[in-house]
């Protein structure tokens, strides 16, 4: 028995493009949803505990965004499954056979997330109630958050398995393959970065478009809050990324080599460049907002200029490529194949550490000065009708999209560049008959 398939009569590249587009759109929305739900859990809990109206308003906005996104993501998931069925049936049916239960559980948890998100949004009148009803309303967002996190954990099993598969016939090694936990933790924080900056960007647009002072003040405050979440999570990313890459190095050295020194090493440099830009722009945002705070820390004026120069320099070094031959079009500029400044040890380690240390310090300053920026309702004083700070937040949101796409593509292409769809299990060549008759 074999698959009853008619060849598609297309070059395989079309299938790769179609799957790539569907997967990127789906993953981008899905990770935004996971991050937003988790941020929603925090904000709605604060709203519940403190009763502050600004937090309640923000929770409502998050609930609305979740409702808008959930249906779209559900359909993107359908589209991705349909595309995999059409373009990569051999790979997809094999993977599904191995990952049947994680896939089903993922769909089940997503269903739970959708139900609880809708219950949270459409039962908003309960947020003003007292006693059990109010607690029940809060429990909806917690359940939605739990379900979305669990759904992500399920899909991470499959994503990590494709790169570092365990023996297909034994259940637990399939689940706890070498990169599962590092990938899951890396994604958890990555989702907070992406969702935090995206929500900050949405708030920034809201503040630029606000017609009244009250609205502008609220959106400015919301932007700062979301920035704090995104930038805080960003500080943890290099260390988590290091742990993840370390696992790949030992479990799938060929893929590691491809990413770090091989044909796809330019992608790692691209990720480094985007990370550096995020830290630099984030530092400028911190500089701008903390300086205007009523509770400006006394040492800030001395620290920030040094920090800005340090992160700019570190970002440049971090992004420098080592194997120039693999950087597209660079041969038109230089015939050199190696750039010694782009060495991982010690240059990139040092520059990454510099970025993290100064970003972390800046983040702590930001948190210390946060209250004085008008975070509390009674102090909701706008700094001034400033258009530069919101634009920096929009820039961060755009960059976070780009870095998410670059990182996702790096992981996928580490397999595809070596000819695999599932490492050591299914090759691209095996999907050949789907496209052309033998």
Partner 1 sequence: MPEAATRIEPTTFPMLPSSTVIGLFSLLHITFASLAVAFIILAPIFEWRGQANRFYLEAARSLTRFAMVTFSTSLVLAVFVVELLIGLFPLTNSWIFNRFRYPIYFACSAFVLGLLLLQAYHHFWEPIRRRNPGLHLTLGFGGACLMLTWVAILDGMGSSMLTPVETSSPWENLLNPTWIALVIHRLFGDFVFAGFALTGYAGWMLGRREDPAETLYYGSLLKTGFYIGTAALFIQPATGLLYALRIQEAVPKAFHQAVQGRYQPLVYLQFTLVALLFVENHLLLNGARTNPSALLSAFEKKRLGQRGSLWGEGALLLSALLIVVFAAHPWPRRFFTLILLALSAYFLYLNRQNLSTAGAKLNRPTVRRSAVALGISGLLLYWTMGIIRETARRPDTVLGKISLKEEAGAPKYFVDLRAVRPETESRAAGGADQVPEGPGIHLSGPSPPH
Decide: is 139 part of the binding site for partner 1 (CB under 8 A). no
24, 46, 52, 86: residue in contact with partner 1 (rule CB under 8 A): 86
Decide: is 155 part of the binding site for partner 1 (CB under 8 A). no
Packed helices 12-50 and 213-251: angle between N→C axes, nearest 10 degrees:
130
DSSP-assigned states of every residue in 317-342: HHH--SBGGGSTTGGGT---SB-GGG
Cis peptide before 367 (omega within 30 of 0): no
3, 130, 333, 437: residue in contact with partner 1 (rule CB under 8 A): 3
Toward partner 1, which CB reaches closer, 50 or 85? 85
96, 242, 303, 349: residue in contact with partner 1 (rule CB under 8 A): 96
Torsion of CA 136, 139, 140, 146, to 10 degrees: -160
Sole window of 111-119, 211-219, 295-303, 396-404 interacting with partner 1 (rule: CB under 8 A): 111-119
41, 114, 150, 356: residue in contact with partner 1 (rule CB under 8 A): 114
Dist CA 115 CA 67 (whole Å) = 10
Dist CA 418 CA 223 (whole Å) = 42
Decide: is 327 part of the binding site for partner 1 (CB under 8 A). no
Toward partner 1, which CB reaches closer, 22 or 193? 22
User: Nearest 5°: phi and psi at 146?
Assistant: -60, -45
Q: Which residues of 318-335 are buried (b: 16+ CB within 10 A; e: fewer)?
A: bbbbbbbebbeebeeeee
Sole window of 231-239, 253-261, 281-289, 385-393 interacting with partner 1 (rule: CB under 8 A): 253-261
Decide: is 111 part of the binding site for partner 1 (CB under 8 A). yes
Sole window of 132-140, 248-256, 276-284, 388-396 interacting with partner 1 (rule: CB under 8 A): 248-256
Q: Which of residues 181-240 bind partner 1 (CB under 8 A)?
A: none
Contact 144, 113 (CB under 8 A): yes
Decide: is 352 part of the binding site for partner 1 (CB under 8 A). no
Toward partner 1, which CB reaches closer, 367 or 429? 429
Q: Which of residues 50-69 bind partner 1 (CB under 8 A)?
A: 68
Decide: is 17 part of the binding site for partner 1 (CB under 8 A). no
205, 243, 260, 380: residue in contact with partner 1 (rule CB under 8 A): 260
Contact 137, 126 (CB under 8 A): yes
Contacts of 116 (CB under 8 A, 6+ apart): 140, 141, 143, 144, 147
Toward partner 1, which CB reaches closer, 90 or 218? 90
Contacts of 165 (CB under 8 A, 6+ apart): 174, 177, 422, 423, 424, 425
Q: Which residues of 241-264 are buried (b: 16+ CB within 10 A; e: fewer)?
A: beebbebbeebbeebbbbbbebeb
Decide: is 122 part of the binding site for partner 1 (CB under 8 A). yes
Cβ 414 to partner 1 shortest distance, Å:
11
How many residues can be counted in the chain?
A: 438
Q: Which of residues 270-309 bind partner 1 (CB under 8 A)?
A: none
Cβ 179 to partner 1 shortest distance, Å:
13
Decide: is 103 part of the binding site for partner 1 (CB under 8 A). yes
Cβ 353 to partner 1 shortest distance, Å:
18
Q: Find the helix or strand (DSSP H, E) in which 268 lies.
A: helix 265-291
29, 32, 55, 110: residue in contact with partner 1 (rule CB under 8 A): 110
């Amino acid at each position: 028995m074999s698959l009853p398939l008619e060849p598609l009569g297309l070059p395989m590249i079309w299938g790769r493009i179609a799957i790539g587009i569907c997967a990127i759109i789906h993953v981008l929305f899905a990770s935004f949803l996971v991050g937003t739900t988790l941020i929603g859990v925090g904000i709605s809990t604060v709203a519940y505990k403190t009763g502050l109206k600004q937090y309640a308003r923000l929770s409502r906005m998050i609930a609305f965004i979740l409702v808008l996104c959930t249906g779209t993501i559900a359909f993107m998931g359908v589209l991705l499954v349909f595309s995999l069925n059409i373009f990569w049936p051999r790979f997809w049916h094999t993977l599904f056979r191995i990952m049947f239960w994680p896939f089903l559980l993922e769909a089940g948890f997503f269903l739970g997330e959708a139900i609880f998100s809708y219950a949270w949004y459409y039962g908003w009148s309960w947020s003003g109630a007292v006693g059990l009803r109010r607690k029940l309303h809060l429990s909806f967002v917690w359940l939605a958050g739990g379900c979305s996190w669990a759904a992500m954990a399920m899909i991470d099993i499959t994503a990590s398995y494709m790169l570092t598969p365990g023996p297909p016939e034994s259940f637990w090694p399939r689940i706890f393959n070498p990169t599962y936990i590092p990938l899951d933790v890396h994604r958890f924080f990555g989702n907070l970065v992406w969702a935090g900056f995206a929500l900050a960007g949405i708030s920034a647009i809201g503040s630029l478009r606000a017609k009244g002072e009250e609205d502008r003040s609220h959106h400015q405050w919301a932007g700062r809050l979301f920035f704090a979440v995104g930038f805080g999570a960003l500080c943890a990313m290099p260390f988590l990324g290091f742990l993840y890459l370390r696992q790949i190095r030992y479990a799938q050295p060929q893929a590691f080599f491809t990413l770090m020194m091989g044909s796809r090493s330019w992608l790692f440099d691209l990720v480094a460049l985007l990370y550096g830009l995020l830290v630099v722009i984030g530092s400028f945002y911190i500089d701008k907002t903390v300086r205007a705070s009523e509770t400006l820390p006394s040492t800030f004026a001395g620290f920030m200029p040094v920090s800005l120069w340090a992160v700019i320099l570190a970002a440049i070094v971090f992004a420098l490529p080592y194997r120039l031959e693999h950087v597209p079009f660079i041969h038109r500029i230089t015939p050199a194949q190696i750039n010694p400044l782009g060495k991982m040890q010690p240059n990139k380690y040092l520059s990454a550490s510099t970025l993290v240390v100064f970003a972390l310090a800046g983040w702590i300053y930001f948190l210390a000065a946060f209250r004085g920026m008008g975070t509390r309702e009674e102090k909701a004083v706008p700094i001034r009708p400033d258009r530069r700070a919101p634009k920096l937040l929009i820039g961060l949101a755009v960059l976070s999209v780009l870095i998410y796409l670059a990182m996702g593509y790096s992981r996928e292409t580490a397999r595809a560049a070596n000819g695999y769809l599932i490492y050591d299990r299914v090759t691209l060549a095996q999907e050949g008959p789907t496209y052309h008759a033998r």
